[in-house]
Amino acid sequence: MRTFARVLLAAIAGVAVVFAPTAAAAPVSGISAQLPFPLTLQPDGVRAPAAALAEANTGLIVWSRQPDTRLPIASIAKVMTAVVVLESGDLERPVTVSRGAIDSSAAYGGSTAGLAPGEVLTARQLLYAMMLPSGCDAAYALADAFGPGREAFVAKMNATAQRLGMPNTHFTDPSGLPVPDDYSTYSTPAELVRLGRHAMANPVFREIVRAPVHHQPAGPANHHHVWENTNGLLRDYAGTTGIKTGSTDAAGTCLLFEAARGGQRLIGVVLNSSPHDLDAAAADAARIMDWGFLPILGAGPAG
């Protein structure tokens, strides 16, 4: 576990602190009296066995727990699916939702965006359908179109992971469902932070994942849809800007998150906070960010 968080953030804030991180958890003599807040080396009450928090502007990981352990990531995999689609640059491309996309989602009890076979939506619209309600049906529709075919699309996901410097990440399904098994799609907390920073650098992605709800009007070839974001932090944690929840039996409840307060942006991830309770993952994320935000940087308006 690396626990040099608040001291490094203090350095970023311009506070004169010199600290060589060690495994010791004891307070550093003489430092706490110089800082405008109590010095603690790690957040309290975090249930997730694997997690990481980074300063989003630089990518500096300031606290972590099992940062390099490979674990299933559930629907956080959809972040990479979105990255592959966004990097195609063809967001107005019409995509027909196939019966196979619906059936594949249903076969594993995946969350859906309520799409119907034969509906035609643009790639941009399907990104909302995938990222907000975590629609596995939308993920499969996008993969079928932009692979073309799922096998080719998953190959693009893995090639992108390698390009981004994520050697401990592997994808076998564009939705994050346990295909072919519970542990075939995996990553690490440190590499998910890297993926999250890359995705959040795209303004279209940021616009999508910060939306609490998206209303998709009915059109000539699509039904009316209302897609609500599964990320409860957007509602409950001031300054949240994204990004993605996940949950399967093996992965438990997971959350890749970002928030900004004043001049400070934090990005992080928690994996397996609870077997089934997404609120537990949100609570873990909130505890970590409460610890990570510096009062001297976070006193400005949220966001």
6-37 pLDDT tens trace: 444 444 433 322 233 323 333 333 333 333 44
Quick one: which of 107, 161, 117 has its CA closest to 138?
117
Check 64, 78, 98, 156 and give the catalytic one.
Answer: 78
d(CA 6, CA 291): 8
Query: Any residues with CB less than 8 A from the CB of 45 and at least 6 apart, and which?
Result: 287
pLDDT of residue 147: 98
pLDDT of residue 121: 98
Neighbours of 254 (CB within 10 A): 31
Quick one: which of 110, 93, 117 has its CA closest to 175?
110
d(CA 269, CA 301): 23
pLDDT of residue 71: 98
Neighbours of 40 (CB within 10 A): 14
Neighbours of 88 (CB within 10 A): 14
d(CA 91, CA 98): 18
User: For the chain, what is the radius of gyration of the CA atoms?
Assistant: 20
Considering Cα of 40, then 44, then 49, then 50, what sign does the dihedral take?
A: negative
Q: How far is CA 277 from CA 175, 185, 222, 283, 287, in A?
A: 20, 21, 33, 10, 16
What residue ranges define each of the domains in the chain, with the CATH number in brackets?
5-251+263-298 (3.40.710.10)
Quick one: which of 199, 205, 211, 216 has its CA closest to 235?
211
Considering Cα of 31, then 33, then 37, then 39, what sign does the dihedral take?
A: positive
Tokens (6 digits) for 63: 């606290």
pLDDT of residue 207: 98
Check 64, 104, 105, 134 and give the catalytic one.
Answer: 134
d(CA 240, CA 234): 5
Q: Dihedral through CA 117, CA 119, CA 125, CA 127, nearest 10?
A: 20
pLDDT of residue 263: 87
Name residue 64's beta-bridge partners: 52
Residue with tokens 């997730």: 48
Residues of the chain predicted below pLDDT 50: 1-38, 298-300, 302-303
Give the count of alpha carbons within 13 A of 233, CB side only.
Answer: 32
Question: Known catalytic residue: 78?
Answer: yes
First-residue to last-residue Cα distance in the chain: 29
pLDDT of residue 1: 36
Check 75, 98, 111, 273 and give the catalytic one.
Answer: 75
